Amino acid sequence: MFPEFHKYDGLGLGELVRTKQVSPSELVEEAISRIEAHNPKLNAVIFKMYEQGRKAAREELADGPFKGVPFLQKDMHATVAGIPTSCGTRILKDIPQPYDSEIVKRYRATGVIMLGKTNVPEFSILPYTEPQAFGPTNNPWDLRRTTGGSSGGSAAAVAARLVPLAGGADGGGSIRIPSSCCGVFGLKPTRGRTPAGPDVGDIWRGLAQEHVITRSVRDSAAMLDAISGPDVGAPYWTAAPQRPYLQEVTTEPGRLRIAFTTKPFLGHEVHPDCVKGLEATAHLLEQLGHDVVEAAPEVDREAFAIAFLTMIAAETRDEIDWAEKLAGRKTRYNDFEPGTSALALLGQAFSAGKYANALNYLLAFGRGIGRFFENYDVLLTPTLAQPPFPTGSLQPSAAEQVMIRIIGALNAAWLLDAIGVIKPLADKTFDFMPCTAVFNATGQPAMSVPLYWNDAGLPIGMQFVGRFGDESTLFRLAGQLERAQPWADRAPAAFL
């Protein structure tokens, strides 16, 4: 056991192992003890891999920067040999996978020891982690509130000091949203930076990228150094950085031209607490010597939302087809949650032409946003438009769920559109996350930095977006912000 565990980030624990001040087995037992003590309250870890972890700790580990460091993997897409990849759905929760996916192999090559998999919403569609298959994950800052999603289990585990870092993936904000809700650091890499293979060619048509959620900036940088680069058969990849990201964290960023906005690209209003956080962050950036200018790219809210929803609906239909193949049986409408089934119905009803139109719009949209970044190094927004909301607030009402199930039983997807069931639910979702999905469409790197807590003690992250392929500037800026306004010691007291 190692009671000082929570005081160290991943690289710090790795250094203790390297200098033989602590053994991998001691770290593993400490992490298991913390998971067993706190997970009943959090519901962050849904598959436990304790014996595999203990066995790995006794054997020869990869000699990487995180040698002997406990780690948790998000339960979506990335496969871990012998463990289910449930994707938050009931029909896959008992089907183990035969091998590690490429990114899991790369995680293991850093020396981490996997101890389990973390909770996600069904098929990682929603920005809150409340799957019917496993139940909601609770926020360690307030157990009655959301962790965000879809990497909500990972963010909660890192915030509660169960592990120093955990796997995540971001297709519409799914690393940044839970990082904001849980007061931790989360960076979505540039499109093509990290591998998706061998089973997936391109997650969500390139909108989703995998990485980690961490407490420290340097852990994120070191892990991205280790896992980035194309894998076999990659459809495209992004040029390698000029030097390691870990070096950038301690390099001063120089005088940056930073645009900021409180404008909700896809929603309607921004909560006053999020505005206060943005104003405080803009002031901090000015004190650090940056040129801070109020400006924002133009986004056609309606057109973007329709295109994004069309893509998600089609991908959800494909996820269900994939789940059927793994389960070896035809699924029924009631095998999935009402929202999932409704999206899949829409995805089935859309024509191929409508799907192509949506993808073309999203890709062309990225060209326009790129022109905005010809004048600015970084864009600052609140990560979310609201503080973490009470669990269940964004779920469809009982009446909406009944209506969706009736329409599903009739297999009448057109009715969902005709009676406007889906649009109000989509509007409610985008009102919470109006600024993240835009930069999945553009493929740019973006990070949520834990720089503000409101009067209720809830974390409110700030989103920084860089130019395409330029994680280096973001890591330099994040390192500077971490030195100027440290957050490592700010933790939910009940979990220390």
Q: Which amino acids are annotated catalytic?
A: 74, 150, 174
Could you tell me the two tokens for 235? 């459809």
453: β partners: 459
Q: In what order do the strands lie in the sheet with 113-118?
A: 45-48, 113-118, 70-74, 165-170, 209-214, 185-188, 446-453, 459-466, 378-382, 257-260, 291-294
CA dist., res. 381 & res. 308, Å (int): 20
Angle between helix axes 272-287 and 471-484 (nearest 10 degrees) is 90
Side-chain-facing half-sphere of 319: CA atoms under 13 Å? 30
CA dist., res. 23 & res. 51, Å (int): 16
Could you tell me the two tokens for 86? 């449930």
CA dist., res. 484 & res. 225, Å (int): 24
> Could you give the angle at the alpha carbon of 31 between the alpha carbons of 77 and 186, nearest 5°?
50
Is there a contact between 291 and 258 (Cβ–Cβ < 8 Å)?
A: yes
Give the CA distances from residue 265 to residues 334, 359, 383, 449, in Å, rounded to whole numbers and listed in that order. 34, 19, 12, 19
CA dist., res. 116 & res. 111, Å (int): 15
- Gyration radius (Cα) of the chain, Å: 21
Question: Is the Cα torsion angle 148, 149, 155, 156 positive or negative in sign?
Answer: positive
| Among 223, 211, 226, residue whose Cα is nearest residue 179 | 211
Torsion of CA 95, 96, 99, 105, to 10 degrees: 110
